[in-house]
Structures are given as structure tokens and as C-alpha cells.
Structure 1
């Protein structure tokens, strides 16, 4: 059969082919290139920066170039001052991936953006100005950055300021502060203040300075020694803010107090930090920051924190006392107040790519009059993991964990984790003397089931979690830390691995447990039958701890359906006495606490403490705090005081300072003496609380006494219900801090 094609049909086909080809070139290919770059960024590819440059250069329209610059370049520049900040009791890092650009290429891109985009109603343009000014300051010097900001302000806002973009509005005073010219910074802040007052008055609004404006001004006043003026400024701000919030938002007095406390406490801490160097006696602090092979680390920002101050905020170089390491890795603070300090480090990711900090972040450095204090901070190489790695599926009878040997290490801790519902639960092997450890299947099985307890919201063991473990439907992760005999930390396997040279192996593996007949029934949902078989397996072999653990886990599900039953409690106790593992003892304590069996709790706590003593371990701080509250309820105040004060006053993770202070107030200790106690607990991890200023204004009364009794005896949720009944706003602020 002959098929004839008319010329017009052939022409239509050719035209369609060319149209489709053009569409592929114009739409599909650029989209694929963009997707490829996005994947490179997500995977932390070190060549992502160059790929972005090539993508922008290949864009065939100005509007596309502008969009690509905004999406890939400006977004990567929009982050905090330091990629990573490591301080006395907090660490922060950027969430966006690391993208490195050549400085000249970045400058050309920014100039193109400013030339071809409009500032009108374009917040990205103003944000770009702010970021580019910071880049100029870093790469060409503060004077050039100041000139750039002045030029752009004259071009864009000849009659005032861009009040809708505060970072840009405050850029000039920020740069003056960075330069150390407090006089010009203050003049600029005052000018902004006056302009804003006139502007909002025309709109019939009241004006109160912003948080950032206040922060800059307070730092300047503190640096100038004008502390009274600084505190007066805070008082005026609080008064005006109270009036505005009540007028515009209808907030009552109590709501305002709760909102404002944290802000005022942070400002007072900032004043304390910024006034460092205003005292009479002076000293010098020098230091060296290097890698373990002796390579100096240049360009690290070093911040001084007053060791006696509770709040350790994340500092910025524009306003906080700092030094920068030179090409020898050295830094110096001259003419600083004598006293005790702690050090914070502002780092870029290239500083710590493949390395982690071995220096104790809590270490206190003492600066004495007319003397030079010295400190050395070292970053050690991340430990490489050899086996098992990269998602390996282990099917052998034994698991052989191997890692890089660390010079000078006396022992290692191995941490193993399994993820369930987005949470990684850990258990570990400690005091491993060599750089490998062999774990048999049965030992792994027992440790895995007995070391982690996963419960649902009703305290029942979570069956889904245990089914995933037994079926092998989980991925495990692991890490190693190296220590010396004195407890000092040398290095770890976890840290930043950002380049091809440091990426290393992924610390993941999978392991399917060999299933018993009881396991098969359990996975099929036949819980009663599985329970009976686990019970029989343990009866046949009393060393089968796995069977005992699974029997215990199933007890409340199939025997009497009650996690508060005596049978479940008995099963938990048998498991604890058999395994001799601290975690299983804590499960018993948790059960007894829920049953409000205070005497039973006290008895088992002593057994738990004896076990830890034999293992040369310390009581878990959470359990120590709970035990102190149990003793309070039993009326044993002397023993309760011992356990409320159990933790070392310099311990970083001391969550319970408020409990200590509440206990002492309840026991009749004078408020001034309680404030002295508060001064000894300076290292408070997590939510930083200025206990001294809170205590200063309280009045201990019957309402506070009742609140503390409910809090210690029934828990924070029941105590929280009493807060509306507390009439004193100062008492209420103190008690709210305790339960938070």
C-alpha cells in the first residue's frame, strides 16, 4: 500500500519539529540545568558555586539572570555573621548548604544585579545591598563599605532612610561600630531615631525604637561607661512599649511582663558584656588557634564572654569584644578588664571542614592585673570510620566495628543510633580500649532491645518500633569519640565533611536479626502467642535476656492491658535485676513514680545508685532531680537538699537551677542568701535564665509556697494551672521561669 504525504503535511511536521526543538532548548534544557545545580547544592558539592556562575552566564534573558542571582547567590549570602559559632554553652550553625564563590565573580554578579534590577518595592534589592556592604567590609575594608553605604543612601533615600528595611537602615551605625568609631555610630543612631519620631508623628503613631536599634545604642553607652544612661534607656523603652502594646493590642499587664522579661534580661547581659574593658585594673590575653598538625587557623573570630554572666548570646563582630586570628593563628586582647572569661569562636565552614574542636568550651580563662594570660585552642581531625559503613547490610554472626586509631587515646566510646518517627535513639559501648570492637548477634540483640525503651503517649511500649527492629526495617548509625584517662576529649567521628577530601564514609548500616518462632508470631500481630513463646524461651534458658525483654515489653499489651499493673512492675524489676543495666533500673523508677509508690521508688533508687557506683558511673541528672522531689514529698529535706545540689556547679547541662532556688526558698533560706546560691550556678544550658534579677523583686508568700509544693509533688503542668492565681507579677515571672 502506498502512503502519500502532502507537502503541507510535511511542512507542518517540520515546523512542529522546530517549535518543539526551540521549546526544549528554551524551557526544558534550562530547567534541567537548574535542577542539576539544586542537587549539587543539596548534596554539598564543592563545585556548586562554579556551576551557579555558569548557569547565570548561560541565561538568555536579563530577567532570568536576575531571578537566578536572587535564587542562588543572594539566598546563599543571606545568613548569620558566622557559618558556625561555638561558645561557652551554645553552638549555632547555618542551615543552608555551603556555597563558595570566587570573590571577583561574586563582585561582578552583584554589580550586574544592581545595574539591571530596580530598588522600587524590591526587598531583595535592599537585602542585596546590605549583604554586599558586608562583603566589601570583609574583603576591601570598612572604609570602602561605609563609602558604598553612603553613596547608595544618597541615591535611593536623599531625604531620609529606608525605614522598611531595618538591616540596611542600621548598616552605617553597624559599620561604624565595627570600625570602633562609637561617636559616629551614636550620631547616626540618634539621627535615625529623630527621623523616625517625625515620620510616625505625622501618621499619628507613637514611636519606640526597635530591638536592634536599642541593642546597638546600649552597647555604645556601655562602652562609653554611661551605664546609668543605658539602664534609663531600658526603663523608658519598657514604659513606652507597655503603653503601646496595651493601647494597640489590648494586652494586660501580666501578658506584657511575660513578653518583656527575656528582652530586658538579654539587654542587661549585653550591657555587662559590652562594658568589658571599662574597669581600672587591666590585663592582656593572648592565644593560638591551630589544627593538630600545627597548621595555624587564620581569620577565626575570637569573642570574650564574662564568665560570671549567665547569658552567653551569639555575638557579632560589629558590637562585641573580639579579636581575629592572623596568619600565624594568633590573637590578642589588650587592655581588657581583669577577671574571668570564657571564649567563643566565630568560624567559616572551611575552618572546620574535616575537623572538630577538642578544646573544652566551658574552660574559664583568668586575666590578672598587668599579666599576660595565654590560651591554646586546637582542632583535631575527624575520626574516619572503616566498617560498617555506607549502608552495608550485615549478614554475619558478628559485627566488627573498626575506625581510625587516634594518637594519645586511652579509650573510646561507641554511640549507636536508630531512627524512629524522626527521633534518633542512642545506646553505647563505653571504655573500648582498641580501635575496633566485635559484637556478636546475640549480644547485639540483647543490647538493642534492653538499652532503648520506646513508649507511646500512654506509656505503653511502642509495638511498631519493636516490629521494625526485629524485621530489620531500620537503618542504624554510629559514631566514635576518643578520650584520655583523665576524661579529656580528643576527637570524634562526627563533624563537618564538606569536600571530596574529607567526605569519608557514611556511618550507616543495616542488620537483620535472626528471628525466633516467637518473633514470627509477634510480627504477624499474634501477641498472646508470641508472649507465651518468649516466656517459654526464657524459662528454658535464663541467660536469654532477649526473650525476657520481649516478654516484659508485651506484658501490659496481652496479660492485663495495664502499664500500671503489679505484673508489669514485677516484669520490669526482674529484667533490671537480670540485665544489671542502668537503663532498665530507670524504667523501674519511672514505673514506681507513675504509681506514686514513693517508698518503693526510694528503695530502688538506692539499688540504682549502688549499681552505678560499681560501674564507676554517675547518677543521671534527670533521675537525681526526680529523686530530690520524691524526698521533698517524703519530708526528708536534708537528703532532698543533697540531691537538688547533686550536680557540679560548673556542669554545662544543669537544667535545674530554678528547682534548687525554689527548694531553698521553701526551706526558709533568706532571699539574699538564695541569690548568692544563684551566683554559684552560672552554667545553665538551654534556656538562659537571669535568676539573680528575677529573685531580686520577688516576695516569698503563701501562694508561692503552695505553688512549689504542687510543682514538686504533682508536676509542672499542675503547677502551671496555678499561675493565673499568683497576684504578684514578679513572683509570677520567677515561677514561670522555674516550670519552663
Structure 2
């Protein structure tokens, strides 16, 4: 018997039965639901999730099913382990695509299905990694390892693939994070037999993990030998690979190379510091109500790593246990910052009150303990919820915080591309502050350009700042204890309706926008600039026009090769006198510092100190100490450098302090300077290892009888900024380590 089927039907044979299923079941209906569901998800509508799940419950071709799971469960930008990574140098939020997304809990059944039955492709690795991370956050570390192993075994056994390498490396890292070093070593040996020498990237990564275990076990010299040997081989092969691809000059730096170079640098510094061993860093994450934060990510980040976002393969990373405890073993000497990886549920309504530039200094001590306490966000009370301020004064008010000795207020200017923030007031006693609006008008923020080569393309909103009656502004508060430690702040993640509270937005509408302001907002920048100058020429009491002339003339100077101060000096002096603005006074002091006009410098620095209320910034103190050094006031410079270092977590000017210490060293031992270099290490992306440099100078000094005299001669040239003679000395000297030290001083900003 013939069976005729229309094109819109399919035939399935099931145990001898002929089953006819409409083709629309497989193609048309799912596609329509997917389209509608996808649109609803993108619009943030929860019903979109229901439609996607309904599609997955219908009969589908396998490739349809896997495609939907890939798109909505793995391609949504939510593959990072944590929603928020937060630390003393940056905050990083999981960059998901806009709209509503499936939670990891909702994804799990489909990820498990993909792991067991899905195509053997790159998404299999993604599914296994996501599941492994989820099990780790539940404290199920054996299950976390099992899913990685299961995925690895599904790949072809005939040829060891890149995906298998990635999964096996993940298994090694998991074991290292759990201090299961023997288990990690076993996997490393197994992987060595499978990875060919041609795949030098994986070989390098494997070597860096093996060396990391050696470090954690305190085998520093053995680890250094392995890293040094592998790094030399890796660099050679990497250069060969780059030469084979001349069409791609910006290939980037491989992760394995970064790891090896970082390990080598830290090992060298540790051995230079004659550290006897490694340190165990322990800690606990709790909320201020005593409740532990389990299965949060903790990252101990080396100095050179904090300039970029947290990576999945950070060398020092663990999860807190069910009681919030964490532990890093085998931490080598150096400067570190602690970062946390948190889900939105863990951080919602809470904040970790660290300060920018907080560091943990490891010097080979046996144990270092770090307590991390999350505090509830404080509530703002006024101005809030887009209130318009129309009086000539403004009152800030917020809820008082128990144990707070003082508060700081930060302000923000809303831009099309985001916002720009600035510190407004510090050391406020009590939970209210009343200020004249003129103080807000004087407050500057960062400058934005459409084209940095054209000063007239400046964003008017960023320059008008708080004088713009049409723009929205924001504010936030930080609370500090008597010893200067932050307790909590108003800025943070408020995701639940109960935590949202008052919105920190307001408008300033006391003044009237001038014709020049309107021209400026209309992006007729040069016309507005001339109008401001015309207004001020007619009325020297027009302080707003003077303020805008100073701002715009300084920006214009960027295009002429002049310094801002040279271009705008007469207006700047007048503005400092009428506004009594501390920042402007410091700017003038800095201008005369650079010109070595010490009488004018001293006058403006004194005025700056008066305006700052005898509470200068650490940068101002460091710069003032440098000015004292250049004037030959070395004893006073020493004291001021120490004051600056006590405030500056980066220790930016410590090199100059060491220069003064070496110059005045009575016995020529350099021990005092080296002790200071160890106590106050310079930190940051381009920091210099002053401790190591001075150690090498001490060794080099034994070869030369005139070493102290030559050091003092070079330092005198440096103090007096005799650049030509100093460069000639650098070219002529045969004292390599001394030359390196002097060149390090020249690099100080």
C-alpha cells in the first residue's frame, strides 16, 4: 500500500510502526516561539524564559536542541564564575548581554544533558566548566572534578585535543586550589605524556603549574630553575611563531608566558630579599552580623596583575568553605591585593569596605591572617530621587553609621557614556553637611573628548560639571572609623526591592544658564569661549565666566604644546584668589616647583596648606618633600617623605626618599636606605624594585674605591635637575647598578 505524505510531514519508524509527525512541530512552531521568547528575554520579561523552556520540551531535531541550549545557556555572556569581582584597584561586573538571563540553577539540567549527550565540540568544555564551577561553589569538589573528567573522556581518544588539555589543566588547578598537591602532580605527569613538544603553549602552562606547586611547598630554588629553563625555551619558540605570522603583529602575550615571567620575577625578588620561605595566608569572609559567606571566590593578586581584570587562571585563587574560611599556602614574598568573586545574591545590599591601594605585604612570615567583613550599605536621605535644588546652599544628609568618626562625600556628573566622579569633601564630622552651591560649581571632574586631537571637541557636560542646570548629578558617602578605616558606603549593589532605597540623584537649578553656556552646550565651543572672555572683560566680578575661561584655556593649551599653567597663568592666579580653591593653589605651587622658582612655590604651597586645612593629599606631601630635597633642605625632606609614605599606599616618592637617605648616609653602609626600601616598597604597574637595586649597589660597591663619591656626585646632579650633566654621567659610568638606580630616580613622576 502506498502512503502519500505532504511535504509538511515527516516519517519516523518506531519499532515497526509508521508514525507521521507534522513538520511544523519541528520547524515552524519552535522557531516562532523562539523568536517571541528571545524578544521577551531581551526586553527583560520573565515569560520569555517560559517560552524557551516550552520549546525545549517539544520534539526537536538534535541540532535544533543543542543550538538552543548553546544560545540561551552558554552564549549569554554569563559564563564567568562570579557576577562581581571586587578589589582595591578595580571592580569588574560579569558582562552579560542586555536583558533577562537563565540563572545557573535553571541552566543546570540542560548543561548536564549537553555534558552527557551533546556534540563533542567546544561547548562541551563550556558546559563542563560551568557545572564544575557550580559544584565548587556548593563545596562539592569531587563532583567538580568528575564533570571535568567526564567531558575530557568524551573527546576522541585517538588524538589528544586542545579541549582535553583545557579540561585537564582545569582539573590540575582545582587540585592545587584544594592543596591536593600530590593529586595535581599525578595529573601533570599524565598530561606530560600526552602533550607534544610542538604545543609549547600548553607545555609552558604545565611548567608554570608545576613550578607553582614547588613554590607552595617552599622549594624556591627548584621552582626557579624550572621556570628559568622553561621560560628561555618558551620565549624562543614564541619569537619563531610570531615570525611565521608577520601579518598579525599584535598577537598579544600568551597566558603561559605571563605566568612564567611573573613567577620568575617574584622568585628573583624573594631570593634577593633573602626570604627564608613561603607564607600561608589565611582568612575568613563574614558579614557584620556574624553570618559567614560560603563558597565565595578569593583571589590573592600579585602586584603586576592588578592592572587588568581578574582572569579565570589566576595563580592564587580559592573558594571559601561553608564557614567562610579560605587559605593560600606557599605564598612567596611580595606585595598583593585581595580580590573577591561574589554572586549578586552574596553582595546585594552589602559592601566590602576596602580602600583603593590596600596592599598585603608578604615578607616570608609563617602566617598572615586577613579578615574580610561585609557591611550593609548606608542610606542617603537628602538630596535624593532627582530633587531639584533652587536655593544658594545645599544640605547633604545621610543615616549615621555606628562607630563612624567621619565621612567623605563623592559627587558624580552623569554623561551619555556613563558618569565621572570626584571627591568633594573629606573628614566630615556628623551625618549632615551644608555648603554654598558655589563650592559645587567650583568642583571639576574629568574631561571627555570626541577627538583628543581637537580641543574644541570637548564634551561640554564634563566641563560645565555642576554649573549645568540641565544635567543630573549623583552623590555618595563613605564612613570611616577613627583610625581611618572605611566602615561602609552608600554606593553598591542594590538588586532586591527591599535594598533599593533612595536614589542618589539631584539637579542644581539655582543659577541661570548664560548665553555662553547655551552656546557651549550646543557644541559651539570656540564661540562660547570667546563669549566667556567677552563677558569677563566687561564684568571682572563675573566669576562663572572666569571659571570657564580657566577650564577652556587649559584644555586649549593641550593642543599648543604649552603647559596649562603657562597658557592660563594670569587667569589662574586670579581664580585662586577669588575662589580660595585648594586644588588651584596646589596647581600653582606645582607650576613654580617645575620652574624651580622657590619663593613663589613656598608661597603657594603655604596657601594650599591653609586652604586644605592642614590636611594635604599624600601626593602633595610627596611632591613637597621632593621640592625640599631639590632646595637642599634634606632633614626637612626626610620628615616630609615619611609623612607622605604613611598616607600613600603606592609609595610613589619612596625613590626620592632613598636618594636623600643615601646622600646623607654617614657610614656609607646603605643599610638604612635598604631597610626603608623594604618597609615602603613602591607599588603599581610600573613600580621599581628599590630594595633589590640597593642590594646590588652594596655588592657592586666592593669593586670601586670611589663609589660613595660618585654616588653623591650623581645625586647632586639629580637634586639640581642638571639633566645634561646627569645624562653625560650615565653615558660615561661603568657602575652599572648605580646607573640603574639613578635611572630609576629619573623615572619618578
TM normalised by structure 1 equals 0.72
In the alignment, what sits opposite 1:244?
Answer: 237
SS of the residue aligned with 2:584?
helix
SS of the residue aligned with 2:644?
coil
**TM superposition shift of 1:584:** 1.8
SS of the residue aligned with 1:379?
strand
**TM superposition shift of 1:231:** 1.2
1:264 aligns with 2:265: no
In the alignment, what sits opposite 1:13?
Answer: none
In the alignment, what sits opposite 1:677?
Answer: 676
Structure-to-structure mapping, 1:316-355, within 5 angstroms:
320=316, 324-327=320-323, 345-355=340-350
Q: Counterparts of 1:63 and 1:711 in 2: how far apart (Å)?
A: 72
SS of the residue aligned with 2:143?
helix
In the alignment, what sits opposite 1:489?
Answer: 486
Change (3 A) 1:293 1:84: same
Q: Counterparts of 1:606 and 1:402 in 2: how far apart (Å)?
A: 33
Change (3 A) 1:688 1:335: closer
Q: Counterparts of 1:212 and 1:117 in 2: how far apart (Å)?
A: 28
1:38 aligns with 2:42: yes
Q: Counterparts of 1:74 and 1:726 in 2: how far apart (Å)?
A: 60
Contact kept, 8 Å, 2:136 with 2:295, in 1: the verdict is: no
Contact kept, 8 Å, 1:695 with 1:734, in 2: the verdict is: no
Cα deviations across residues 534-582 of structure 1 (Å, max 9, x unaligned)?
355444xxxx7546534655778999x9877889423322322333321
1:416 aligns with 2:422: no
**TM superposition shift of 1:494:** 0.5
Q: Counterparts of 1:535 and 1:578 in 2: how far apart (Å)?
A: 16
In the alignment, what sits opposite 1:174?
Answer: 173
Contact kept, 8 Å, 1:531 with 1:558, in 2: the verdict is: no
Count of residues in correspondence between the two structures: 677
SS of the residue aligned with 2:410?
strand
**TM superposition shift of 1:236:** 0.6
Change (3 A) 1:704 1:211: farther
1:549 aligns with 2:547: yes
In the alignment, what sits opposite 1:9?
Answer: none
SS of the residue aligned with 1:180?
coil
In the alignment, what sits opposite 1:224?
Answer: 217
SS of the residue aligned with 2:408?
strand
Higher relative contact order (CA 8 A, sep 6+): 1
Contact kept, 8 Å, 2:625 with 2:640, in 1: the verdict is: yes
Contact kept, 8 Å, 1:133 with 1:145, in 2: the verdict is: yes
Change (3 A) 1:607 1:315: same
Q: Counterparts of 1:139 and 1:557 in 2: how far apart (Å)?
A: 54
Structure-to-structure mapping, 1:353-372, within 5 angstroms:
353-358=348-353, 362=358
Contact kept, 8 Å, 1:653 with 1:683, in 2: the verdict is: yes
2:287 to 271, 287, 291: 291
In the alignment, what sits opposite 2:425?
Answer: 429
Cα deviations across residues 312-343 of structure 1 (Å, max 9, x unaligned)?
8769899748673535x567899999999996
Q: Counterparts of 1:455 and 1:705 in 2: how far apart (Å)?
A: 45
Change (3 A) 1:412 1:496: same
In the alignment, what sits opposite 1:109?
Answer: 110
Mark the runs of 5 or more structure 2 residues left unpaired by the alignment.
1-23, 245-252, 702-706
1:583 aligns with 2:580: no
In the alignment, what sits opposite 2:373?
Answer: 378
Structure-to-structure mapping, 1:465-504, within 5 angstroms:
465-466=462-463, 470-504=467-501
SS of the residue aligned with 1:684?
coil
2:401 to 393, 406, 430: 406
Q: Counterparts of 1:391 and 1:712 in 2: how far apart (Å)?
A: 54
Q: Counterparts of 1:550 and 1:32 in 2: how far apart (Å)?
A: 52
Change (3 A) 1:345 1:148: closer
Q: Counterparts of 1:317 and 1:147 in 2: how far apart (Å)?
A: 19
Change (3 A) 1:334 1:215: closer
SS of the residue aligned with 2:422?
strand
**TM superposition shift of 1:232:** 0.8
In the alignment, what sits opposite 1:514?
Answer: 511
SS of the residue aligned with 1:170?
helix
Contact kept, 8 Å, 1:283 with 1:336, in 2: the verdict is: yes
Structure-to-structure mapping, 1:22-33, within 5 angstroms:
30-33=34-37
Q: Counterparts of 2:86 and 2:551 in 1: how far apart (Å)?
A: 41
Change (3 A) 1:420 1:299: closer
Q: Counterparts of 1:455 and 1:342 in 2: how far apart (Å)?
A: 30
Cα deviations across residues 460-516 of structure 1 (Å, max 9, x unaligned)?
896934457655343211111223444332211101222333233432233345227
1:617 aligns with 2:591: no
Contact kept, 8 Å, 1:340 with 1:366, in 2: the verdict is: yes
In the alignment, what sits opposite 2:10?
Answer: none
Q: Counterparts of 1:318 and 1:460 in 2: how far apart (Å)?
A: 41
Change (3 A) 1:499 1:325: same
**TM superposition shift of 1:354:** 0.6
SS of the residue aligned with 1:482?
strand
Change (3 A) 1:218 1:662: farther
Q: Counterparts of 1:474 and 1:714 in 2: how far apart (Å)?
A: 49
1:193 aligns with 2:192: yes
Bigger mean CA deviation after superposition, 96-105 or 141-150: 96-105
Cα deviations across residues 108-164 of structure 1 (Å, max 9, x unaligned)?
111332355422xx3232232233333344447333333443343333242463235
**TM superposition shift of 1:230:** 0.8
Contact kept, 8 Å, 2:208 with 2:260, in 1: the verdict is: no
**TM superposition shift of 1:402:** 3.7
Q: Counterparts of 1:150 and 1:126 in 2: how far apart (Å)?
A: 10
SS of the residue aligned with 1:648?
helix
Contact kept, 8 Å, 1:476 with 1:509, in 2: the verdict is: yes
Q: Counterparts of 2:353 and 2:556 in 1: how far apart (Å)?
A: 50
Change (3 A) 1:386 1:30: farther
In the alignment, what sits opposite 2:154?
Answer: 155
**TM superposition shift of 1:76:** 5.8
**TM superposition shift of 1:167:** 2.7
Contact kept, 8 Å, 2:565 with 2:572, in 1: the verdict is: no
Contact kept, 8 Å, 2:618 with 2:644, in 1: the verdict is: no
- Alpha carbon RMSD of aligned pairs, Å? 5.7
Q: Counterparts of 1:368 and 1:693 in 2: how far apart (Å)?
A: 16
Q: Counterparts of 1:411 and 1:655 in 2: how far apart (Å)?
A: 26
Q: Counterparts of 1:697 and 1:53 in 2: how far apart (Å)?
A: 66
Change (3 A) 1:728 1:92: farther
Q: Counterparts of 1:645 and 1:425 in 2: how far apart (Å)?
A: 30
Q: Counterparts of 1:608 and 1:354 in 2: how far apart (Å)?
A: 42
Q: Counterparts of 1:735 and 1:599 in 2: how far apart (Å)?
A: 25
